[in-house]
Structure 1
Amino acid sequence: MKSGEIYEPKEKVGKNALLMAAVLSITIVPTLAIAYAFATWYTPFIYANLIICVGFGAALGYLIFPIVKWGHIVGYKNEIICMAFIWLLAMYLQWAAHVTLAANLNPEGNSTSFVLNDFLYFVSHPIDLAAAVSEISQYGLWGIGSTTFKDFGLWAVWTTEAVILFVTMIGVNQKWSTFPYSHVEANWYPKILLKKKMPLNRGFSKFIDG
């Protein structure tokens, strides 16, 4: 390493990363997705839905931390890939939950029920899920005043929602994968606080001497 260069550990994806991602994908992510679908379904105010969307994105963003830390994911590119996977999975699962609520909607009112078998069916049948989403977009399920959002307008709302989720995930992310990592010990370096503030330019020898 030449003088003045900054050491950056090589990119790495540990053996436990896939295991951690798999465990969270069948436990925490579905739970958050179902809760998000319920919250947006029963919240009639668009501004409240925006807050819920940001909260969902923040929860997904912080979910990356245990995967990076205990899965030993080194390198921000790998972390972004992991983040994109969680985002896509969460979007898919929340759509399955949303369609489940729509499929069990009471025609005489806004009440509905969540049937687990229906949810699992849509999760395991992506073509049927896509068809149901397409049908919902044609008629719409909600609106503002006398205007029902459907077709292009509804797709625009859904696209904005997806973008907000991913941007929020990036916003809460602290680039944990770029923290100092030892490939020799196969572990993250512990955080050490200096007793003195290190000068940024001159006076380094004075800092060393104390």
Structure 2
Amino acid sequence: MTAPVYYQPSGRFTVSGILGLLLVGAVAAVPLAFVYVYAVWYIPFIYINFALTLGFGLVLGYVLRTVTKAGKLRNPALVGWLGLAVALWAWYVQWCVYLTLLAGAGETESLGSRASFTHTTFDATVFLSLVLSPGTVLGALPSIATEGTWSIFGLTISGIFLYLIWLAEFLIIVLMTWNMPRSQAEVPFSELSNEWAEKLTLPRPAAPFSDAVATKLALEAADWNHLELHTSEDELAPFGRLHVYRAPSDPDCCFLSLENVTMETDKKGKPSEKTADVLEYLRVPPHVCQELSTRFGPASG
């Protein structure tokens, strides 16, 4: 019996791809940092600030993922390290922007009893001097943490709690900009035709893979009949989902991923999906790939 084959990135890259990732990432981080800091400065609500931080990381991660794809970088470890470098730069720039606004801070305006914001001006000279003085930027953080610069419900946030907030923001930015381009570098790529495989999510659900290990072993043994169509009429019943990856110019480049999907409802009754991977990037013969695409593709009639 032939041993199962899972896709493994070749690790190949180009110098232009690396330089493009660093250059585009570094440039994109600057306007994103400005938008992020200004939004946080003028929207003094911590739960919204968390969403803004997540958005900052997601947009920058998306930019890096796009450049990773365009540059055909197939080395996940290298891409991850490059993403980390861009994340550190983005984190540093946003602090430079914040300290510049802090230096230009004026009167504080109240927004009721629970929040307020401070008017400020931006001085490009101060900003550029901070960008070129990392010691000054990093040295300012302890004093800011001691005194605090913002409050919630009348309580000034400072000390260890403020450090924890900063740490959470840092980790969000780093994880997004590290993981998103790295996951792109792991996507199947045809070295023969020099192109990424295109992902196709098959629309018809499969019966749920209640025993993930058994499903994995069955497919590794080429038992494709193990995959069955989902027959339950319950819209909230769990089911399986198939993803097929095929390179347009390389018929032999065909890979299969599976995931279990469970439906959850919130307090308002709104449903949402929760997914769990069963297997990822298992190589399948071209004819099997076509058969699965037909069987789990759009329903006829």
TM bucket normalised to smaller: 0.7 to 0.9
Gaps of 5+ in 2: 110-117, 205-217, 226-284, 292-301
Give matches, 1:179-190, under 5 Å.
179-183=187-191, 187-190=194-197
Give matches, 1:108-127, under 5 Å.
110-127=118-135
Residue 104 of structure 1 is matched in structure 2 by: 104
Residue 36 of structure 1 is matched in structure 2 by: 36
Computing the radius of gyration from Cα coordinates, the structure with the larger value is 2
| Structure 2 CA distance for aligned equivalents of residues 46 and 104 of structure 1 | 22
Residue 5 of structure 1 is matched in structure 2 by: 5
Deviation digits for residues 146-191 of structure 1, max 9, x if unmatched? 3211222211110111123334446756811122334455x32453
Paired residue type of 2:79 = E
Residue 243 of structure 2 is matched in structure 1 by: none
Question: Aligned-pair RMSD on alpha carbons?
Answer: 3.2
| Structure 2 CA distance for aligned equivalents of residues 208 and 149 of structure 1 | 56
Which structure shows the higher helix fraction?
Answer: 1
Deviation digits for residues 134-153 of structure 1, max 9, x if unmatched? 22222111011232112222
Correspondent of 1:191 among 186, 192, 198: 198
Distance 1:192 1:21, change over 3 A: closer
Paired residue type of 1:24 = V
Deviation at 1:205, TM superposition (A): 11
Deviation at 1:192, TM superposition (A): 7.5
Identical counterparts, % of pairs: 25
Paired residue type of 1:57 = G
| Structure 2 CA distance for aligned equivalents of residues 45 and 194 of structure 1 | 38
Gaps of 5+ in 1: none
In the alignment, is residue 65 of structure 1 matched against residue 72 of structure 2? no
Matched residue count: 206
Deviation digits for residues 12-64 of structure 1, max 9, x if unmatched? 23111232134324431100011111111111111111111111111111112
Contact 2:80 2:181 in 1 (8 A): no
Contact 2:76 2:182 in 1 (8 A): no
How high is the TM-score relative to the length of structure 1? 0.82
Paired residue type of 1:138 = T
Which of 1 and 2 has higher RCO (CA within 8 Å, sep 6+)? 1
Paired residue type of 1:111 = H
Residue 166 of structure 1 is matched in structure 2 by: 174
Deviation digits for residues 62-105 of structure 1, max 9, x if unmatched? 11223212222213222321221221111111011111111111
| Structure 1 CA distance for aligned equivalents of residues 135 and 290 of structure 2 | 69
Which structure shows the higher strand fraction?
Answer: 2
Residue 165 of structure 2 is matched in structure 1 by: 157
| Structure 2 CA distance for aligned equivalents of residues 167 and 86 of structure 1 | 11
In the alignment, is residue 177 of structure 1 matched against residue 192 of structure 2? no
